[in-house]
A and B are shown apart, each in its own frame.
Chain A
């Protein structure tokens, strides 16, 4: 008689501990996502013990995917190639909500107050706004630059201070600034004549400047968001010095860009160089020869190092630039197809995805030793929840 209630008590305890497992009391500041691009899945990882906590599946086509994070850092919003927008619970490790909001999308941003998600789309071109809580649609911004034209593909979408978003129109050679103070009625300021074929854009860490990299010409479009009435200007014009650009086998990505002190580090298009810009006068300070066509050029959070990965077929190498010497001081060869790098919030470690080796490597940034390796299926983007606190991420 006595054994019975005991057994059921034990059973209840086991059940209780199982259900509380997912809800175990912990923060999310050291959590992150590793996108597994070919299998439509992602892993939830933690950077303290450098382990994977589990996998979340069913996220659609992640061949080009990125994510932003809720301001409480509990949720990641994952943008997939197929137009999917998935709200992923980092603690419960499951998809909390998923919608397919367009046919083909590129990425997105979260508003300053964390209440709105903006998605940049290729097909149909434009930006859509969603409620961050339940992903209900709020507003649609078709990127039609002139009557009768097709909506442009959107690139370089980022949040800006003052409850707005900024993005570039790849097909229309324009930059648009959307004021979303009234979420359902975005007010657009269009900047024309910004240069040919903007391929990506970024907002500086202080939220003041927006830059769009240009594919169609040597130069960068720059807007001072404190003084938008001054319009867009061109910097680094003619950085190729008239030389024929080399083929670009993968487009550079500008988000996660590199600012170190008053210097910005940018990938050159069609050249095996990183361009260094003096941010006070927006003039070229140096150009650093590197291993290949740079894809990501990312500063360690303290700005002392800049890490660079490269386009096919030279994508097996990662190089480290010292920002005092303005030269490459270290090279690593993690393996074929290094896709992305992400620093721990204070930069003591960097996580590197090596797609073709199905591996994520963790290196110390001081001494460069590899300190951990995680198995992942065709990993691409690595995105840590600490991005939630950064403007332009």
Chain B
């Protein structure tokens, strides 16, 4: 699978024009909270609450370091054809996807468990 996944990622990577994207609008705080919740719990159901992977690939900073922002945004918005990763377009905007990528790149912070 890793082989097929890498080739899928490679395909998407070639579409990427630059290594990092710019965030037009920061999501408002309430939306940030929703997105973080979505990331931890819904992305986390395949990628793990701590993003160390599960049926889905790990999304730790080291594991996504070589993927451009655009590649990751494209995967979030359009999914990976033939793989379980679904498209989130319609539920997540392009800016929001980039915001999530930034969170992922920052690492464990995003995965900090909600305050009890």
Interface set of A (CB-CB < 8 Å, partner B) = 37-39, 61, 63-64, 81-82, 103-104, 106, 122-123, 150, 152-153, 155, 170-171, 197, 199, 215-216, 247-251, 312-313, 337, 355-356, 377-378
B19-54 Cβ-contact flags toward A at 8 Å (1 or 0): 000000000000000000100111011101110111
Query: Which residues of A have CB within 8 Å of B86?
Result: 247-249
Chain B residue, CB-CB nearest to A315:
B42
**Contact status B116-A104, CB under 8 Å:** no
Query: Which residues of A have CB within 8 Å of B41?
Result: 38, 337, 355-356, 378
Any A CB within 8 A of the CB of B87: yes
**Contact status B113-A312, CB under 8 Å:** no
**Contact status A248-B48, CB under 8 Å:** no
**Contact status A150-B2, CB under 8 Å:** yes
B37-77 Cβ-contact flags toward A at 8 Å (1 or 0): 10011101110111011110000000000000000000000
Any A CB within 8 A of the CB of B107: no
**Contact status B55-A199, CB under 8 Å:** yes
Query: Which residues of A have CB within 8 Å of B52?
Result: 61, 81-82, 103-104
Query: Which residues of A have CB within 8 Å of B91?
Result: 313
B78-110 Cβ-contact flags toward A at 8 Å (1 or 0): 010010101100010000000000000000000
Going nearest first, the 9 A-B pairs with the smallest beta carbon separation are: A63-B49, A247-B86, A171-B1, A312-B42, A38-B113, A63-B44, A249-B86, A81-B48, A63-B48
Query: Which residues of B have CB within 8 Å of A378?
Result: 41, 114
**Contact status A199-B84, CB under 8 Å:** yes
CA distance A247 to B81 in the complex (A): 10
**Contact status B54-A106, CB under 8 Å:** yes
CA distance A82 to B50 in the complex (A): 9
**Contact status B113-A39, CB under 8 Å:** yes
Interface set of B (CB-CB < 8 Å, partner A) = 1-2, 37, 40-42, 44-46, 48-50, 52-55, 79, 82, 84, 86-87, 91, 113-114, 116
| Closest chain A CB from B60 CB (angstroms) | 12
| Closest chain A CB from B51 CB (angstroms) | 10
Name the one of B44, B45, B53, B113 contacting A122, with C-beta atoms under 8 angstroms.
B53
Query: Which residues of A have CB within 8 Å of B50?
Result: 61, 63, 81-82
Query: Which residues of A have CB within 8 Å of B44?
Result: 63
Query: Which residues of A have CB within 8 Å of B46?
Result: 250-251
Q: Known interface pairs A250-B42, A251-B84. Does A377 touch B49 (Cβ–Cβ under 8 Å)? A: no
**Contact status A61-B48, CB under 8 Å:** yes
**Contact status B49-A248, CB under 8 Å:** no
**Contact status A38-B87, CB under 8 Å:** no
**Contact status B45-A377, CB under 8 Å:** no
| Closest chain B CB from A303 CB (angstroms) | 29
CA distance A104 to B51 in the complex (A): 11
Inter-chain pairs besides A152-B1, A153-B1, A313-B91, 15 sampled, C-beta below 8 Å: A37-B49, A38-B40, A38-B49, A61-B48, A81-B54, A104-B52, A155-B55, A171-B2, A199-B55, A199-B84, A247-B87, A250-B45, A312-B42, A356-B41, A378-B41
17 contacts between A and B (CB under 8 A): A38-B49, A39-B113, A61-B48, A61-B50, A63-B45, A63-B48, A81-B49, A104-B52, A122-B53, A122-B54, A153-B55, A247-B79, A249-B86, A313-B91, A337-B41, A355-B41, A378-B41
Query: Which residues of A have CB within 8 Å of B40?
Result: 38
CA distance A377 to B50 in the complex (A): 17
**Contact status B114-A248, CB under 8 Å:** no
Query: Which residues of B have CB within 8 Å of A251?
Result: 45-46, 55, 84
Query: Which residues of A have CB within 8 Å of B45?
Result: 63-64, 250-251
| Closest chain B CB from A102 CB (angstroms) | 12
Query: Which residues of B have CB within 8 Å of A81?
Result: 48-50, 52, 54
> Which of A122, A337, A377 gathers the greatest number of chain B CB atoms within 10 Å?
A122
